[in-house]
Amino acid sequence: MKLADVCRSMEQWAPLAWQESYDNAGLLVGDPSMEVKGVLISLDCTEEVVEEAIQKGCNVIISHHPIVFKGLKSLTGKNYVERTVNKAIQHSVALYASHTNLDHAPKGVSYHLAQQLGVHGKVLLAAENALKQISYFVPIAQQEAVRIALHAAGTGNIGEYSGCSFSSEGIGRFTPSVEANPVIGQQGIPTEVQEVKVDMIFPSYLESSILQTLKKVHPYEEVAYYIQSLGNSWNEVGAGFIGELDEAMSGEDFIQYVKKTLGLSAIRHTPILDKAIKKVAVCGGAGSFLISEAKRQGADAFLTGDLKYHEFFDGENSCMLCDIGHYESEVMIKDAIHTYLSNIFSNFAVLKSETLTNPVRYA
């Protein structure tokens, strides 16, 4: 197995196109044609994690946070980022990060945080502009072959349904020029063909590969098609997660429940509200940008990391805001990546890092 195979598998779950514009997810260090001996999964990539990988015979590290984030201008070892990258290069260890793309992916970071807490529901802020529609015209005899090829390329998936499309029959008209080489009809003669118009939905990031497939399998020299952006939000893709606990509980009980379930020593939270906690929103990592959406959807509590002092005021008296720590809100993604890759690859070790990379301590 090559490094490229591991990257491709990660990107089938969390396509790089879903990362935020400020992010730097993807392959950071390493030759994609390199043979994989073992994969080590970590939340952060540090010198200690690279050392652990070397000790355990792993030559690929998959982390959630990209060690190269703001860009590197030198590799002299003057800070931990440069030293980590240096060490990885010196020992031929590849570094790959799946960050905000994995936050947004179906069953991503926030989903797993919610799962641990027994919160069942949906994505809090569904992705916009992530879906498009392709409509193309094809002779009736070839409609099935084209449709099957396009589905294989990633069209027609809506929630738990695959192979979705809509066809309508009609008459296609064209006149081939003297330079044309038509499959049906003759140069200079107006032609009519019984055609089918097919509409399908697809993820925007697949546009170029879907067009390539269409042009490859469609019988016509000039394929008639159009692509439209859709206003539909994509409910499985997006930021945060919201749902309900099996049973409502008091604010005090909820705090104790979260501490116990996630094994936390402390939670920073706004004052306990005089209401039961049933609807809970979560966001792994720094999720203050979702406070207003959590409130809008009626969350009794919102759990995330990295809340600033003034952001705690935004809970008002409707939503209890809980800062459980950045590391603590995301560390469970290690298990999810481990399960995902272990199910795909059996010919090399996929291990979870045992290094505690959380730089925050509680006294």
Considering the complex, what minimum distance in angstroms separates the CB of residue 56 from Zn ion?
A: 24
What's the first-to-final CA gap in the chain, in angstroms? 45
Q: Which is nearer to Zn ion, 47 or 330 (CB)?
A: 330
Binding region for Zn ion (CB under 5 A): 285, 330
Q: Which is nearer to Zn ion, 285 or 315 (CB)?
A: 285
DSSP symbol at 45: -
Considering the complex, what minimum distance in angstroms separates the CB of residue 218 from Zn ion?
A: 44
Considering the complex, what minimum distance in angstroms separates the CB of residue 4 from Zn ion?
A: 26
Cβ atoms of 278 and 241 within 8 Å: the answer is no
Q: Which is nearer to Zn ion, 125 or 198 (CB)?
A: 125
The radius of gyration computed from the CA coordinates of the chain, to the nearest angstrom, equals: 25
Instruction: Give the residue carrying structure tokens 């260090």.
Output: 29
**C-alpha–C-alpha distance, residues 101 and 96, integer Å:** 13
Considering the complex, what minimum distance in angstroms separates the CB of residue 103 from Zn ion?
A: 8
Would you state the structure tokens that stand for residue 92, as one six-digit string?
Answer: 């031929």
Q: Which is nearer to Zn ion, 19 or 213 (CB)?
A: 19
Would you state the structure tokens that stand for residue 297, as one six-digit string?
Answer: 């959807």
Considering the complex, what minimum distance in angstroms separates the CB of residue 12 from Zn ion?
A: 22
Q: Which is nearer to Zn ion, 218 or 334 (CB)?
A: 334
Over the range 233-255, which residues count as b (16 or more CB within 10 Å of their CB) and which as e?
Answer: ebebbbbbbbbbbeeebebeebb
Considering the complex, what minimum distance in angstroms separates the CB of residue 166 from Zn ion?
A: 40
Phi, psi (degrees; rounded to nearest 5) at 107: 55, 45
How much helix, strand and coil, in percent to the nearest 5, is found in the chain? 35, 30, 40
Considering the complex, what minimum distance in angstroms separates the CB of residue 357 from Zn ion?
A: 11
Q: Which is nearer to Zn ion, 23 or 207 (CB)?
A: 23
Q: Which is nearer to Zn ion, 67 or 146 (CB)?
A: 67
Which phi-psi region, left, alpha or beta, contains residue 158 (left: φ > 0; alpha: ψ -120 to 50)? beta
Considering the complex, what minimum distance in angstroms separates the CB of residue 329 from Zn ion?
A: 8
Instruction: Give the residue carrying structure tokens 């931990």.
Output: 80
Q: Which residue is nearest to Zn ion (CB)?
A: 285
Q: Are strands 191-203 and 166-174 parallel, antiparallel or unpaired?
A: antiparallel
What three-state secondary structure class fits 265?
coil
Q: Which is nearer to Zn ion, 69 or 257 (CB)?
A: 69
**C-alpha–C-alpha distance, residues 163 and 212, integer Å:** 19
Cβ atoms of 288 and 282 within 8 Å: the answer is no
**C-alpha–C-alpha distance, residues 2 and 62, integer Å:** 14
